[in-house]
Structure 1
């Protein structure tokens, strides 16, 4: 029997298009200088991703940092569980 597909919890290096394919449209997005913050949320967690363009040369902005927290309290939660609960594909 094949094993179930694994959910990639390390978001580093993903582009905006790859994030949107995984989590659907980002309900919250804001430009912060040259960076872009995309956020998804459900009842159990809030996922913040921060994308930045390459330091040198051209290319798509990618995730350099991501974190997860509990809605309301802001308490840090494991990113793996948050990513799994938000993944739509």
Structure 2
């Protein structure tokens, strides 16, 4: 006679508990929110707030007026040319008025050699070639 082994009395409930535990792990996936779409920032438009003879001029045109700059500094999208004469120092800042356009003078500062403010147009005339 062949004897069959009977499972231990706790084997059935333990198998059921294990199966239920595994089924809980394989539950439905939790939907995840889609990441927000990256949008390009609106194009930057630089509008000059000054009114002097140099606003709107290109760096080449300014170079023809004043010669070689004492300083030529590029930082990010901007460029600064500095010209100096005996009476004053002139800083001209260039930015593109819109994406893809050539940079133009959008701001001009003038000062005396000791740091006091100077009038832009008269300073430019005194430095001009």
| TM-score > 0.5, shorter chain as reference | yes
Partner of 2:70: 27
Task: Give the TM-score of the pair, scaled to structure 1.
Answer: 0.81
> Which is higher, the Rg of structure 1 or of structure 2?
2
Partner of 1:49: 92
Residue 59 (structure 1) shift = 2.3
Q: Which structure has more RCO (C-alpha within 8 Å, separation ≥ 6)?
A: 1
Residues 12-39 of structure 1: per-residue CA shift (max 9 Å, x gap):
1000110001001112011121100000
SS of the equivalent of 2:57 reads coil
Task: Give the TM-score of the pair, scaled to structure 2.
Answer: 0.57
The Cα RMSD (Å) is: 1.1
User: More strand per residue: 1 or 2?
Assistant: 1
Residue 52 (structure 1) shift = 0.6
Give 5+ residue unaligned stretches, structure 2: 1-51
Give 5+ residue unaligned stretches, structure 1: 1-8
User: More helix per residue: 1 or 2?
Assistant: 2
Structure 1 segments of 4+ aligned residues over 3 angstroms from their partners: none
